[in-house]
Amino acid sequence: MNSITSTIPLIILSLALSGCALFTSPYDVTRHENFTKLKAVHMKFFDDWTVGTDKTWNLESVTSYCDNGDLQYREAFEYAKSTDKSDSTGERAVKILWESFTSNCALSLKKEKLFSKVFMQELRPEIEKNYNYAIAGELARVTKK
Amino acid sequence: MTVLSEIIDATGSDVKQQLKTELLDLIQGAKSESTEVIKETGEKIEKWVKMKVEGDIDADELQELLNSRKATVQQFLNTQEITAKARMEKISVGLIDLIVDKAMGVIV
């Protein structure tokens, strides 16, 4: 009898929780892939436009890379938005990364020169960590059978 | 005295005392936090301000690093939210499945 009376509230609680918006969207393989692709886009931007490479800063090339990158973030954002029915955590994760990429592009275009090695030693790990958190978030989601 | 405090003392006649105290308190508070992301934020801000004062980076780069840190913390919090919600779902759905699949016969 005791086990029955103690189990019923748990069942009610569980049913209540399963029906409300406290949950988040399930794991999505494309959203996961988008995070890794965007990370590669962002890291390549740093590789190409930092002192130490054989490149010289070029307005046309940087603008072109940033425009193409922007489109990829936009696509990933729209995809996340379309699959993120339970809450906005998926699209928010992309938006944070997108804004960082936009800001880094704007700085490069403002300075009109390659990023210094010292600056990049600080910025790159910070940006990488951001992507790693986003990927960890996607992997933490429930996998639907 | 923190490194940042020494820097401000050495350079900062134009830094208002109240702002200085507030900033140092926040940095010190962050550095002594047990939550790793907050502690790391305090340490990084102190390091970057020092780099700016010593001329290793310029004002735009400092601003960019601070914005990047803010974004990282926002991402961390978003991930925490996902993790907490997913855990809640796993536990509650797991409980329902357990009862439906195995314990229903015993209860009813």
Q: Are B26 and B41 in contact (CB under 8 A)?
A: no
Report chain B residues whose CB lies below 8 A from the CB of A77. none
Residue A12 CB neighbours (<10 A): 10
pLDDT category of residue B95 using cuts at 50, 70 and 90: confident
- In this complex, do A24 and B82 lie within 8 Å of one another by their Cβ atoms? yes
Q: Is the CB of B24 inside 8 Å of chain A's CB atoms?
A: no
- Of A87, A93, A83, nearest to A21 by C-alpha is A87
How many residue pairs bridge chain A and chain B with CB atoms within 8 Å of each other?
Answer: 120
* Percentages (nearest 5) of helix, strand, coil residues in chain A: 75, 5, 20
Number of domains chain B contains? 1
Is B6 within 8 Å of chain A by CB? no
Q: What is the pLDDT along chain A (145 residues), one digit of tens a residue?
A: 455 555 555 555 554 544 445 778 899 999 999 999 999 999 999 999 999 867 799 999 999 999 999 999 999 999 999 998 778 999 999 999 999 999 999 999 999 999 999 999 999 999 999 999 999 999 999 887 6
Residue B62 has pLDDT above 50, yes or no: yes
Residue A94 CB-density burial (10 A; 0-12 exposed, 13-18 middle, 19+ buried): buried
- pTM score: 0.81
Residue for token pair 């700016």: B52
Å from B77 to nearest chain A CA?
9
Beta-bridge mates of residue A53: A51
Task: Find the domain containing B51 and state its range.
Answer: 3-107
Please report the pLDDT score of residue A112 as a whole number. Answer: 97
**Interface contact A107-B61, CB threshold 8 A:** yes
* CA quadruple B76, B77, B82, B84: dihedral, nearest 10: 110
Burial class from Cβ neighbours inside 10 Å (0-12, 13-18, 19+) for residue A139 reads middle
Closest CB to B60: pick one of A107, A118, A140. A107
The predicted model gives B80-88 an average pLDDT of 93
Residue B2 near chain A (CB below 8 Å): no
Tell me, what's the ipTM? 0.85
* pLDDT at residue number A18: 47
Nearest to A125 by CA among A6, A43, A27, A49: A43
Chain B residue closest to A139 (CA)?
A: B83
**Are B86 and A17 in contact (CB < 8 Å)?**
no
Give how far B20 is from chain A: nearest CA, Å. Answer: 24
List, in order, residues 6 or more apart from A9 with CB less than 8 Å away: none
CB contact under 8 A, A119 and B61: yes
Closest-CA residue of A relative to B88 is A23
Provide the pLDDT for residue B104: 73
Is the Cβ pair A17, B88 closer than 8 Å? Answer: yes
Instruction: Please list every residue in chain B whose beta carbon sits closer than 8 Å to the beta carbon of residue A106.
Output: none
What is the distance between the alpha carbons of residues B54 and A108, in angstroms, rounded to a whole number? 22
Cβ <8 Å between B71 and A100: yes
pLDDT digits (tens, 9 = 90+) for B16-33: 666 777 777 777 777 776
- Name residue, tokens 């109240």: B18
pLDDT digits (tens, 9 = 90+) for A59-78: 999 999 999 999 999 999 99
Most distant CA pair in chain A: distance in Å? 79
Do B74 and A119 lie within an 8 Å CB cutoff?
Answer: no
Residue scoring higher pLDDT (A123 or B89): A123
